Amino acid sequence: MSSAQEGEQAAAGMQNLNIQDQADGQQGGDAKPTVILVIGMAGSGKTTFLQRLNAHLHAKKQPGYIINLDPAVTHVPYGANVDIRDTVNYKNVMKQYSLGPNGGILTSLNLFATRFDQVISLCEKPRDPPLQFIVADTPGQIEIFTWSASGAIITDAFAASFPTMVAYIIDTPRCVGPQTFMTNMLQACSILYKTRLPVLLVFNKIDVARHEFALDWMADFENFHKALDSEQSYAATLSRSMSLVLEQFYQAMPAVGVSAVTGEGMDDFMAAVGRCAEQYRTDYLPDLQRRQAERAELEQRRQAAELERMRADRAAGGGSDGGAGSSGSGGPGRKVLDARPGATLAAAPATMQAATQQAAGGKSLAAGASGQRQRSGRLSSALPASGARKPAARGPLAVRAEGESQPLEVLRRENELLKKTIMSAESAVTGLESQLTSAGVSVPPAPSAVAARGANGSAAPATAEDYWSPVVHVPEGQAFVEQYGLPSPIPEHDGTECLKWDPSLWSHADHFKYRWHVFKSIRAAIDANEGGLDKFTQGYRFYGLNRGEHEGKQGIWYREWAPGAKALALIGEFNAWDPQPEHWAIKNDFGVWQLFLPDKPDGTPAIQHRTKLKVRLETAYGEWVERIPAWIKWATQEWNEIQYNGVYYEPPLGPSKPGVLEEGKSYTFKYPRPPRPRALRIYECHVGMSSEEPKVNSYTEFKEEMLPRIRRLGYNAIQIMAIQEHAYYGSFGYHVTNFFGVSSRCGTPDELKAMIDEAHRLGLVVLMDIVHSHASKNTMDGINMFDGTDAMYFHGGGRGYHWMWDSRCFNYGNWETLRFLLSNARWWMDEYKFDGYRFDGVTSMMYHHHGLQTTFTGNYDEYFGMATDVEAVVYLMLVNQTLHDLFPTAITIGEDVSGMPTFCRPWQEGGVGFDYRLNMAIADKWIEVLTEQDDWSWNMGNIVHTMTNRRYAEACVGYAESHDQALVGDKTIAFWLMDKEMYDFMGAPGYGPSSPIIDRGIALHKMIRLITMVLGGESYLNFMGNEFGHPEWIDFPRDDTYDTSTGAFVPGNGGSLEKCRRRWDLADAEFLKYKFMNVFDRAMQHLDKAFGFVSAPHQWVSRKDEGDKVIVVERGDLVFVFNFHPTNSYTDYRVGCYKPGPYKVVLSSDEEVFGGWKNVTKDSNVEFNTQQSDHDNRPNSMLVYAPSRTVVVYAPAEYCDSQADSKESGIPGLAVKDLGPYYAY
């Protein structure tokens, strides 16, 4: 078929997409959108396909209305207009009804189905331009949706109101065998049989395996049987028999091939959707109307018989016709029992009756006896909603009132559990719904930003921050309630599920099987001996100092695991550091010492709040030593003391008002956790050194001064270093002494909580830099040799010492070490509401050689051999399971330089379980380029390779530089580029002399950071201050010392804090050029907010020109043109692109506001039209101007507004219309 014929076919198909349907099936009236139900097995690429479809519709100026029906998914890479997770909390359903994963999904769908009339109502709302498509993403467990009553109700509700078809997504690479092909055909036929709707087979991943073989097998029965003849197994024989039965079914099924990654075949898909919509009108709608008419007639007969029976009963009892048989709307109404305890009878949801009774077209679906449907912009809550999810921009949450309609009888029959308990938590729901209702924020309406959080059409805010980064509002006096998940059961497989992403790993399958066996064995032991993972990871409620009861008395329990100790007592200010008989602890058979201190007669505790204390113990060798309790929650060092003391921290006046820091009271969190971002834009920071002055900053000062700055820049996450207490400030927080203790240099535990709560109010995800790879070797104020023995929490002998870091190495195979570390990971998220972690030094954990003096070449033997510390890897699997199960929105990032395969695959597959790994090679590459090559020698291909060299299906966080590159002995990128010139030539135009070195440095600084953000991974990180080119380096206060690994003398700096601060005054000064880099970084972050390019699956480098020094990248809908050439600029430079134009400049590093020369600027408002041509292997191309040392970003013209930054809500230099097409915080 020629391209012209294909275009005509696609156009003809598109004409069928908006069917004018009325009750009689004839065309006329208003156009109705086509519903595309996307169904596919787990792993078929369904979600990625839906993201591609969403982007395709936007590119065609036909944006769809996106509905997510999967309650168990943790992250969707598209902006959903309606999301089941905003109404039903899947983890709560499992916990409340004691269900497994599948039962939780089914029950969640049942509950959501009772509110589906409101979804239909939202879809039917008039829009300008009219809505053309409704796309629904369904659970990967196909049978749960397709064969459940709730799935049928949802499907019928759609089909009764709109032209509806099913897109069945098939994993083409896993379908190349005739048996797996037949399995998919059976599944497709079952979907067709159950839904009775047009089914389109979508063979996905054709960029990996072409789909023509499947089309041939579907069309040519003989060819398929030839393929089957090559297999003689029982399954092949069964497939052969089934094919005879199903031949007519799948021969008639339409099919297309697509690639969700590249976008190939999407036009064919849309043309096929059009044909399916026409088929719905001609074939399926009449059948649907016939079935609905039959059901309606049966229902009328049933109601008439029931009414007659009720009248007969009343007549026999002397009653009248106007009593309980009246519906209150002038006629008899059907009654069903409300499942809530003590509830009255309520009218059945007529919407669900309508879904099976009423013909499609024009007529409204009824809800309730009055026949009037709710017109809420949001779904009513069917279960206690998670306080951790804030509602998206779909209007206020409709709170369910007492007496509203209940689920259909069929749903209660399907799930007996719901029969008794579906609304038993109604009172708790009201409070949670109130919290969620108030979390919406007023944001001006933007047609291209339907997914903008909190948008409800109110007046525009006063500032860009309020527009782009709305804060969360929670009613006065309402506290945040954590919504915990449940530990998942261990899947029944051999640990090789993760190998499907990389078949070459099968050569090491035995290693994965052994690793999985160890993991399962430890989990089984925890379940059998500790009451499960949930209890095992709450060691902080048992060990250390906790309020409790003993023999009816209230008091303080102290417990400590110290198996090598012969005696142990608690000492401190409360007993003048001299233990009395009642202060000596008793040891049990497991090496645990415990002591109970009852409250005094007047009711005050035996140890007062903020009392200093320690442990005095006798070691196995008869030596008396003093230690800080290992589970201490706060430790301090007075200005005139050398050693730290433990502190009993228990505010005496109870909890504070939510969100208010009150003296003497424990802080109460007010604001919910932010939803998990589609891509992290991380601002790496250190509270102590965040001050502009040479001092140690406080949590309160960081909250008041830094958080608004980070919000203004457009980052959506902060990663805080040095939170765990560390005796040596210069260690940057990496030599931890008190793992459960908050770093006291910056303030109290409650001040840290208030800081995190404020970050959540601003919508910022808060990550903690956690250190579980090693521990300080300190004994007086750490946990090393706590009971006098060399091992305890650590390996004994040489294996227990890290020779380079001069620290102790944990024994991850030790039971109490596992309890200690797993509880520690949970503690910070439970007590302080951190949202996740960056795990430091993971490479050192996973290998016996700690990654030292070792080069990882990519040979798999390096990862899965004798050098691997399997116990440490299993610990990482356990901690990832703990965090992700108990805290559904948790985020984990691992600092792994080795590139271990499966590191970022879920633990359920046998992977290590991290969400992201740090792409550490990029920063090293930039240092290499800047220090070893001149500008003419930069290798474009090598730069691109370094940034894109990451494992498929394992997400990375890219960064150009982090705190590591800023430490003393190294330099920031800005200082490598400009060095001493920054001292004299950073004056803005008109404020001092210029320098070509400075001009070059600023230009390349912007380009380096943006290309890293575009190509470096699925998320992005920046260390604080580097966004504006902070000069010099970081140098913590330190004294003269000696390098422990070499013995070399290392001079100190006299304890100075001069270079241990951040010079914000440089970025804020209008007369300095630092502002140019700062403003450009802000535009970068907001560009991702608008377009979501950092997480976009479509990434294509179409040009790496070594002569021109040009790199052209497509990421999402955007085209990035980087010209790194030091002197050459190019006019009429042809750039290939996948999508046709027109395009406009949405961001240019050459803008005047960024310190550029205005050679290419958004202000010109030029449209760049494309032409069809095979240029750089792209189907379209356009001519652009590419100035030297400039990056220009092109976006579809419909999403651009050259005057956007002239508005109060605008971002300087950014030409995004409204909030952009794919806005997310």
Tell me the DSSP string of 735-781: S-SEEEEE-GGG--HHHHHHHHHHHHHTT-EEEEEE--S-EE--SSS
d(CA 1133, CA 899): 38
Domain boundary among 459, 481, 512: 459
Contact 323, 395 (CB under 8 A): no
Banded pLDDT at 968 (limits 50, 70, 90):
low
Q: What is the CATH number of the domain that holds 556?
A: 2.60.40.10
Is residue 507 domain-resident?
no
Regarding whether 59 and 164 lie in a shared domain, the answer is yes
- Tens digit of pLDDT for each residue in 399-434? 333 333 344 444 544 444 443 433 333 333 333 333
Mean of per-residue pLDDT scores for the chain: 84
| Sign of the torsion formed by the C-alpha atoms of 754, 757, 763 and 765 | positive
What is the span of the domain harbouring residue 152? 3-171+197-209+254-283
Burial 964-992 (b: 16+ CB within 10 A, else e): ebbeeeebbbbbbbbeebbeebbbbeeee
553-561/544-550 β-pairing = antiparallel
Backbone angles phi, psi at 541, to 5 degrees: -85, -15
pLDDT of residue 422: 37
Q: What is the pTM of this model?
A: 0.67
d(CA 1168, CA 1186): 13
Regarding whether 568 and 445 lie in a shared domain, the answer is no
Domain boundary among 575, 605, 629: 629
pLDDT of residue 1144: 98
Regarding whether 126 and 28 lie in a shared domain, the answer is yes
Give which of 771, 795, 798 is closest to 785, Cα–Cα: 795
Is residue 1107 domain-resident?
no
Is residue 851 domain-resident?
no
Banded pLDDT at 247 (limits 50, 70, 90):
low
Regarding whether 356 and 276 lie in a shared domain, the answer is no
Regarding whether 431 and 304 lie in a shared domain, the answer is yes
Most confident of 23-27, 321-325, 379-383, 574-578: 574-578
What are the residues facing 19 on neighbouring strands? 32
Question: Which residues carry out catalysis?
Answer: 840, 895
Regarding whether 579 and 439 lie in a shared domain, the answer is no
Regarding whether 311 and 269 lie in a shared domain, the answer is no
Regarding whether 339 and 275 lie in a shared domain, the answer is no
**In 3-state terms, what secondary structure has residue 1134?**
strand
Higher pLDDT, 352 or 533: 533
Regarding whether 439 and 400 lie in a shared domain, the answer is yes
Regarding whether 441 and 355 lie in a shared domain, the answer is yes
Map tokens 């579809």 to a residue.
1196
- Tens digit of pLDDT for each residue in 432-481? 333 333 333 333 333 333 333 333 333 444 588 899 999 999 999 999 99
What is the Cα gyration radius of the chain?
Answer: 32
Domain boundary among 629, 646, 675: 629
| 166 exposure class (CB count in 10 Å sphere: 0-12, 13-18, 19+) | buried
d(CA 301, CA 592): 73
Beta strands in 959-1030 (DSSP E): 1019-1023
- Tens digit of pLDDT for each residue in 1109-1166? 999 999 999 999 999 999 999 999 999 999 999 999 999 999 999 999 999 999 999 9
Q: Which two tokens stand for residue 786?
A: 């706590």
Regarding whether 265 and 309 lie in a shared domain, the answer is no
pLDDT of residue 243: 58
pLDDT of residue 217: 79
Backbone angles phi, psi at 1168, to 5 degrees: -105, 105
- Tens digit of pLDDT for each residue in 773-790? 999 999 999 999 999 999
Is residue 765 domain-resident?
no
Is residue 465 domain-resident?
no
Q: Quick one: angle between helices 221-229 and 234-251, nearest 10?
A: 170
Regarding whether 156 and 107 lie in a shared domain, the answer is yes
pLDDT surpasses 90 at 1011: yes
**What average pLDDT does this structure show over 824-828?**
99
What total number of domains does the chain contain? 3
Is residue 1214 domain-resident?
no
Banded pLDDT at 298 (limits 50, 70, 90):
confident
pLDDT surpasses 80 at 10: no
Q: Which two tokens stand for residue 14?
A: 């598109």
Most confident of 43-57, 135-149, 371-385, 1184-1198: 1184-1198
pLDDT of residue 799: 96
d(CA 665, CA 651): 5
Is residue 599 domain-resident?
yes
Is residue 21 domain-resident?
yes
What are the residues facing 433 on neighbouring strands? none
pLDDT of residue 102: 85
| Sign of the torsion formed by the C-alpha atoms of 1014, 1015, 1020 and 1025 | negative
**What average pLDDT does this structure show over 148-172?**
90
Contact 339, 382 (CB under 8 A): no
Q: What is the CATH number of the domain that holds 149?
A: 3.40.50.300
pLDDT above 90 as % of the chain: 62
pLDDT surpasses 80 at 125: yes
Give which of 606, 608, 502, 591 is closest to 553, Cα–Cα: 606
